[in-house]
């Protein structure tokens, strides 16, 4: 990573951590240096939230926490460990924060979306004031799952939009094969994304994988680049930590 990119990454990470401190009221149960863990039961909802914070975020978030966030908790939202986007390695979207969140069930998740403006009329205005971009994908969990992020490894989230079911199926199979051959380990695969108007983010396939070190991941990146683009419409890939 060159110096310019490293400085950019540090700024992104710092902003994400500032948000996390505010979000948890100064109590970070999962410190940056510790392994972060997630546990989901069948029927719960897994959110993927990607956004870019504005400089005004620290000043404005307390109001959001007391209004929108309080209503989310009422509807079953459960705060989880935060992840910062250290680097965008594919695609033009460069969020600074990557959150894996949890809701008790789809009913509560949907109720929040349908009722929030009635409870907090300036909900969307608050979000626009704090975040320059805000994307959401959520998934109903079909079986019990547990996974973790080891800070000593390279964690990579990749989102694909497919172009043709059969072509993408072949692309995905080859992608997973190359990931494994370069030392990668798939942490979780997500399909069937749902989203909401104004925050639409519905990749056909999202995979989070880890490599033991950056050299191994870079080897995978070079090998997967040789696969071309047949079967895919778009891709976003982020190193998260």
At 14-26, the pLDDT tens digits run: 555 555 544 544 3
- What local confidence, expressed as pLDDT, does residue 29 receive? 42
- What local confidence, expressed as pLDDT, does residue 16 receive? 54
Interval 195-212 mean pLDDT: 98
23 CB neighbour count, 10 Å cutoff: 17
* CATH number for region 149-240: 3.30.70.100
Interval 24-38 mean pLDDT: 60
CATH topology assigned to domain 3-23+36-146: Alpha-Beta Plaits (3.30.70)
Top pLDDT among 101 and 166 is at 101
Domain boundaries of the chain, sorted by first residue: 3-23+36-146, 149-240
- What local confidence, expressed as pLDDT, does residue 9 receive? 47
Q: Residue 116 contacts by C-beta under 8 Å, 6 or more apart in sequence?
A: 68, 71, 123
Bridge partners (DSSP) listed for residue 44 = none
- What local confidence, expressed as pLDDT, does residue 24 receive? 45
The tokens of 101 are what?
């969140």
Distance of alpha carbon 180 from alpha carbon 211, whole angstroms = 9
Residue 227: pLDDT above 70?
A: yes
Q: Residue 125 contacts by C-beta under 8 Å, 6 or more apart in sequence?
A: none
């Amino acid at each position: 990573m060159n110096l310019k990119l490293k400085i950019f990454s540090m700024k992104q990470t710092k902003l994400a951590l500032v948000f996390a401190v505010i979000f948890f009221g100064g109590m970070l149960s999962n410190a940056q240096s510790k392994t972060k863990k997630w546990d989901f039961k069948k029927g719960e909802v897994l959110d993927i939230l990607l956004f870019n914070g504005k400089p005004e975020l620290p000043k404005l978030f307390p109001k959001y926490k007391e209004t929108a966030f309080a209503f989310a908790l009422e509807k079953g939202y459960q705060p989880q460990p935060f992840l910062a986007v250290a680097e965008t390695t594919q695609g033009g979207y460069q969020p600074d924060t990557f959150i894996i969140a949890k809701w008790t069930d789809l009913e509560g998740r949907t109720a929040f979306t349908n009722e929030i403006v009635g409870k907090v009329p300036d909900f969307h205005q608050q979000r626009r004031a704090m975040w320059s971009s805000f994307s959401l994908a959520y998934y109903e969990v079909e079986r019990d799952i547990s996974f973790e992020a080891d800070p000593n490894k390279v964690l990579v989230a990749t989102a694909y939009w497919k172009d043709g079911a059969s072509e993408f199926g072949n692309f995905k199979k080859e992608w997973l094969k190359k990931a494994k051959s370069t030392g990668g380990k798939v942490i979780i695969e997500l399909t069937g994304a749902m989203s909401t108007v104004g925050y639409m983010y519905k990749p056909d396939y999202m995979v989070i994988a880890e490599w033991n070190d950056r050299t191994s991941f870079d080897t995978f990146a070079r090998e997967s680049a040789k696969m071309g683009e047949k079967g895919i419409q778009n891709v976003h890939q982020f190193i998260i930590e």
